[in-house]
Amino acid sequence: MLTVDGVGVPAGSITGLLGPSGCGKTTLMRTIVGVQRFAGSVTVLGHPAGAPELRSQVGYVTQAPSVYGDLTVVENVRYFASMVGAGADAVFAALTAVDLGELAGRRVDQLSGGQRARVSLASALVGRPALLILDEPTVGLDPLLRRRLWAFFGELAAAGTTLLVSSHVMDEAEHCHHLILMRDGAVLAADTREALLARTGTTSAEAAFLAVLGEQEVAA
């Protein structure tokens, strides 16, 4: 279980971290991974964020693909596998999961942006993390690839992986089981998508966000 200031992220589900650009989503994700400090309290799988015990249990995919252009696809994934003690079977499984088997021998700097994004995802998956942090993973991708990735994220969640996925595109909330709405570094609301829509009397995540924001301004 992941808990941020008392807000829990359910295990084996997709939780969308939604809010406008600059609202603090990346800062929070970097805090969960343990590379940045956050003003609030963050507990990850029963440990404080950044604890050594979490290094093999948390996968992190940054906004820009964090892979090496002068290495091939498989060399990148093998490198990250070596860092978490994963073997050849895990490398093959990660490449297969993101449909990169046929590109395994190609240098990353020869790939398209969407393909590089999948290499970055495979590198995070190779350690078979219990918690997968995805920072704006579909930004700039074509609609077909976005749909394929969201379907894959759903498969991961169904298999027991906990996913926290950030986005400033409110429409992507439809793919999430739970939502955390953020603005100006603070959590405005957290609940299932259906519960948030019902509570605000709206039919979309964007409308729910605006309604919650209005509630906050009235309360202030």
Q: How confident is the model over 125-159, as pLDDT tens digits?
A: 999 999 999 998 888 778 888 888 899 999 999 99
* pLDDT value at residue 202: 92
* pLDDT value at residue 168: 84
User: Confidence class of residue 219 from pLDDT cuts 50, 70 and 90?
Assistant: low
Q: How far is CA 27 from CA 35, 64, 70, 74, 95, in A?
A: 9, 15, 29, 30, 29
* pLDDT value at residue 44: 87
Does the pLDDT value for residue 183 go beyond 90? no
DSSP secondary structure code for residue 184 in this structure: T
CATH class, 1-57+131-220 region: alpha beta
Backbone angles phi, psi at 159, to 5 degrees: -85, 0
Q: What whole-number distance in Å separates Cα of residue 10 and Cα of residue 193?
A: 13
* pLDDT value at residue 54: 87
Pairing of strands 131-135, 162-167: parallel
Does the pLDDT value for residue 209 go beyond 60? yes
Mean pLDDT, to the nearest integer, of 104-113? 96
Q: Which residues of 148-180 are buried (b: 16+ CB within 10 A; e: fewer)?
A: bbbebbbebbeeebbbbbbbeebebbebbbbbb
User: Which distant-in-sequence residues (6+ apart) come within 8 Å of 188 by Cβ?
Assistant: 19, 181, 182, 209, 212, 213, 216
User: Confidence class of residue 91 from pLDDT cuts 50, 70 and 90?
Assistant: very high
Mean pLDDT, to the nearest integer, of 103-129? 94
Which amino acid does the sequence have at 44? V
Mean pLDDT, to the nearest integer, of 74-92? 94
Mind listing the pLDDT tens digit for each residue in 46-76? 888 888 888 888 999 998 888 999 999 999 9
Mean pLDDT, to the nearest integer, of 205-217? 83
Which amino acid does the sequence have at 49? A
Task: Give the start-to-end residue ranges of the domains of the chain.
Answer: 1-57+131-220, 66-128
CB of 97 within 8 A of CB of 129?
no
Mean pLDDT, to the nearest integer, of 157-176? 90
* pLDDT value at residue 3: 77
User: Confidence class of residue 187 from pLDDT cuts 50, 70 and 90?
Assistant: confident
The size of the chain, in residues, is 220
Angle at 146 between CA 140 and CA 150, to 5 degrees: 135
Classify residue 32 by burial, with Cβ atoms within 10 Å: 0-12, 13-18, 19+. Answer: buried
Does the pLDDT value for residue 10 go beyond 90? no
Share of the chain above pLDDT 70, in %: 95
The pLDDT mean for the chain works out to 88
What pTM value is reported for the model?
0.88
Q: What whole-number distance in Å separates Cα of residue 29 and Cα of residue 134?
A: 8
* pLDDT value at residue 218: 59
